[in-house]
Every structure is written in structure tokens, then in C-alpha cells.
Amino acid sequence: MPDDIRIRVVNPNTTRAMTDLVGRSARVVAGPGVHVDAVQPTTGPASIESHYEEALAAVGVLEQVRRGEAEGVDAYVVACFGDPGLDAAREVACGPVLGIAEAAFHAAAMVARRFSVVTTLGRTVGRAYELLDRYGYAGACAGVHACEIPVLAIEAPGALARVTAACRAAVEADDVDAVVLGCAGMAAYTQRLSDAVGVPVVDGVAAATTFVAGLVRAGLRTSTRSEYAPPPPKPVPGLLGGFAITSPAALAAVPH
């Protein structure tokens, strides 16, 4: 069991305020001996609210994971509810990598029989259902609801009241025992939402940070036997040339 654990929380968008927020949320639950650094890509979308932006953000996630490998980071959290680049990050990281949607669904199922998801924009609802199905929690989720607040407006005046109303409406309409927050930017509201709505409200940043630290302490890492084995070396010409895996030793090299 390591004495000190280094967790890198990767905000896949390029908004510094969001990076700082998820960093604070992770540190609250990190516990003794766990050191959290929160980072963001050097390039990419300011927020992630479409499949296009999610694809761009995945490259930024890989950039920061590869930097972390060069710096000796033990584990990673992908702090966007779409879990962009999660599978790819697992192929290049030595330690475990968790997405916040994945972690939040697991946590909610541990404290409630059924839960609902409250997310940002209606256009992201389909992605939440896809992830529920992938992680095996489609049957435990009674519904996904959008509060129609853009990611970058989550901390704006009046946003908390709207998210609270959406959570309360979801609990009543779906008759559920917990709510999962469908955006990392909602992390600062977790306790206030739970107090207001009267059921556990799950933030994926806190859940993923807690879980990934536990995996490191237990000596568990992503299996490399098959699908998550390191990607085969091959050239990558053009814009993404710096990400080419030319040899096993190049896997942790920082792209320039």
C-alpha cells in the first residue's frame, strides 16, 4: 500500500474556473496521504455540450494523462460527465482511470434502489442514457432530466435554484431515492441539494476520487491483458503527430 497517492483530476475542457472547482471538490474527499492536482488541456473546447466537443476533449484528456505518466501520477479522474477519452486513457495509464459518470452511477446504486440523473442541456440526455446502458445501470435509473443551464452558467446567479427545482421534480416524478448530478460543474452544490431535496445527491467528482484512491490502496490497476493493452506503435502523421506511439518507451512521452 503506497504511503502517498497522487491523483490527477483532468477537467477535459479549458475553462480554468471549472478546473479549480473540480480540484476543490476532489480535495475535500481525498483524505490523508492523497495528493490531488487538477489540470486541463492546453487546447480544446471551453465546455463540452456536444459529440463534436467531446471528441476534441478526448485528445486533451490523453495529453494530460501522458504528462501524468511522465510525472509519476498514480491514478486519474476524468471530470466530465460524458467520460470523454476514458477507454483511451486506460490504454496509456499505468494506474486506474475513472470517469465521473461511471463512478456516480456506482455510488448511487450503493445508497439507493433507484436514482435519477439531472444534467445540463437536453441535447446531452442521450449520452447519459448511453453511459447508463454501458455501465449496467439502465435498470436502476428512472430518468434523465435536463435543467437547461449551459455548463459555463452553472455558477451564475439563479442556477442553484434551477438545479434544485430540477432535482426536486425528478425525485417526485420518478419516485426515486437518489439523484446523480450530470455535470462536474454542479459539484459545489451537492450538500445543499441533498439538504433541499431530502435524498442523497451524488457528485461524480467526489465519488471517482474516493473510488480511485481505494483502487490504488488495494493495489488494483487496469488490466492490460486484452482490450486495455497499450496501443500498438505506429505513425500518426499530421496534426496529432505528437501523440504517435513509436515504441513502448514512448507511451509516457509528453507530446510537443
CATH number of the CATH domain containing 82:
3.40.50.12500
pLDDT for 157 equals: 95
Residue 256 has pLDDT above 50, yes or no: no
pLDDT for 126 equals: 97
| Count of structural domains, the chain | 2
Q: Which three cell numbers stand for residue 73?
A: 501520477
Q: What average pLDDT does this structure show over 149-159? A: 95
Q: Report how far residue 73's alpha carbon sits from residue 64's, in angstroms, rounded to the nearest whole number.
A: 11
Q: Which domain holds residue 45?
A: 5-100+207-252
Dihedral angle of Cα 109, 95, 53, 208, to the nearest 10 degrees: 30
What percent of the chain is predicted at pLDDT more than 90?
Answer: 93
Shared-domain flag, residues 212 and 96: yes
Last residue of a domain, one of 203, 222, 240: 203
Shared-domain flag, residues 54 and 108: no
pLDDT tens sequence across 86-100: 999 999 999 999 999
Shared-domain flag, residues 122 and 79: no
Shared-domain flag, residues 45 and 110: no
Contacting residues for 36 by C-beta, under 8 A, at least 6 apart: 7, 8, 9, 23, 26, 27, 30, 209
**DSSP one-letter string for the chain:** --SSEEEEEE-SS--HHHHHHHHHHHHHHH-TTEEEEEE--SSS-SS--SHHHHHHHHHHHHHHHHHHHHHT--EEEE-STT-TTHHHHHHH-SS-EEEHHHHHHHHHHHH-SSEEEEES-GGGHHHHHHHHHHHT-TTTEEEEEE----GGGTTSTTHHHHHHHHHHHHHHHHT-SEEEES-GGGGGGHHHHHHHHSS-EE-HHHHHHHHHHHHHHTT-----SSTTSPPPPB---GGGGGG-B-SGGGGGPPP-
Residue 245: which pLDDT band, with cuts at 50, 70 and 90? confident
pLDDT for 254 equals: 46
Q: Chain-wide mean pLDDT for the chain?
A: 95
Q: What average pLDDT does this structure show over 45-65? A: 97
pLDDT for 252 equals: 52
pTM recorded for the entire structure:
0.94
Q: Report how far residue 154's alpha carbon sits from residue 103's, in angstroms, rounded to the nearest whole number.
A: 21
Q: What average pLDDT does this structure show over 14-33? A: 96
Residue 253 has pLDDT above 90, yes or no: no
Shared-domain flag, residues 242 and 188: no
Residue 250: which pLDDT band, with cuts at 50, 70 and 90? low
Residue 75 has pLDDT above 80, yes or no: yes
Contact 140, 109 (CB under 8 A): yes
Q: Report how far residue 22's alpha carbon sits from residue 40's, in angstroms, rounded to the nearest whole number.
A: 11
pLDDT for 247 equals: 72
pLDDT for 73 equals: 98
Residue 208 has pLDDT above 60, yes or no: yes
Residue 47 has pLDDT above 90, yes or no: yes
